[in-house]
Amino acid sequence: MAVAVRVIPCLDVDAGRVVKGVNFTALRDAGDPVELATAYDAQGADELTFLDITASAGDRETTYDVVRRTAECVFIPLTVGGGIREVADVDRLLRAGADKVSINTAAVARPELLREASRRFGAQCIVLSVDARRVPLGEPPTPSGFEVTTHGGRRGTGIDAVDWAARGQELGVGEILLNSMDADGTKAGFDLEMISAVRAVVTVPVIASGGAGEVGHFPPAVAAGADAVLAASVFHFGQLRIGEVKDGLRQAGVTVR
């Protein structure tokens, strides 16, 4: 028997409400995060991820409240990402009831944050979230052909995304959340080459994200090396149910819970 491949719905949370945008621009409001989290738990989700996209610092208190209320009634692991700038932010989220915290932009700006957070709280609760894309034509290439982006995929950094994932592991993160910004919102399938390239250089679990549109998209992501698959809008708008995705994985010979 082996550890099951995890199916993880992601909820984008803005000032305490759930939203999900197509390619992160056109946002649609769709509900109470705690209610949705409970529904996903009942559907068989293996973990939950909240991505906090709250812009103003004043509204961030609502995020802690959402995390607190979710931890009260959901008994599967909860990861929270978005807006984490310093070790104190990680501490606050863990105290509110998050099991893991994912760090993205702040780690690009200051990689040592990953080491500090991992040393203090343990590798098991620090996730490096990598928003990666294929380097657009006409821009300086990276060795792997993939680069790290910031600002929701709008800004390239020139940092090689595969190297960055490996660096994250060196700095002590316990997991890589790999989000393809090219595939995100397209519902055309995961970027399998990107998953394989990252899988080849890290030994921590890799969560594949971005591009899921149908049941058949998930098994190839696992075959490419993903330990977990994450999706937002397809679950969120009821196009796919967690159980359907798991049935599809099971039929493809993948171990699921």
Partner 1 sequence: MTRVVVLDYGSGNLRSAQRALHRAGAEVVVSADVDAALNADGLVVPGVGAFAACMAGLRAVRGDRIIGRRLAGGRPVLGICVGMQVLFSRGVEHGVQTDGCGEWPGTVERLKADVLPHMGWNTVAPPAGSWLFAGLDPDARFYFVHSYAARRWELESSGLLTPPLVTWAEHGEQFVAAVENGPLWATQFHPEKSGDAGAQLLRNWIETL
Would you tell me which residues interact with partner 1 (CB under 8 A)? 1-6, 41, 46, 68, 71-73, 75-77, 94-95, 97-99, 121-125, 174-175, 203-205, 227-228, 257
> CA–CA separation, 128 vs 245, rounded Å?
25
3-state secondary structure of 128: strand
| Distance in Å, CB of 70 to partner 1, minimum | 10
Q: How far is the CB of 121 from partner 1 (least distance, A)?
A: 6
Q: Which is nearer to partner 1, 95 or 154 (CB)?
A: 95
45 vs 53, which CB is nearer to partner 1? 45
181: amino acid identity, one letter? M
Q: How far is residue 150 from each of residues 107, 127, 130, 185, 190, measured CA to CA in Å?
A: 11, 16, 9, 17, 19
Whole-number minimum distance, CB 205 to partner 1, in Å?
Answer: 5
Nearest approach, Cβ of 36 to partner 1 (angstroms)? 17
DSSP 163-197: HHHHHHHHTT-SEEEEEETTTTTT-S---HHHHHH
Kindly tell me which of 24 and 121 has the beta carbon lying closer to partner 1: 121
| CB 99, min distance to partner 1, A | 6
State whether residue 136 is helix, strand or coil.
coil
Side-chain half-sphere CA neighbours of 217 within 13 A: 20
Determine how β-strand 26-29 pairs with β-strand 17-22: antiparallel
Residues involved in catalysis:
12, 131
CA distance 246 to 143: 35
Crossing angle, helix 161-170 and helix 192-199, to 10 degrees? Answer: 40
User: Which CB atom, from 141 or from 172, has the smaller least distance to partner 1?
Assistant: 172
C-alpha R_g of the chain: 17
Identify which of residues 75 and 143 has a Cβ nearer to partner 1 in the complex: 75
Query: C-beta of 220: minimal distance to partner 1 in Å?
Result: 19
- Let me know: does 81 contact 102? Beta carbons within 8 Å: yes
Burial category of 92 from C-beta neighbours within 10 Å (exposed 0-12, middle 13-18, buried 19 and up): middle
The DSSP element (H or E) to which 154 belongs, if any, is: none
C-beta of residue 76 within 8 angstroms of C-beta of residue 46: yes
**Residue placing its CB nearer to partner 1 in the complex, 46 or 184:** 46
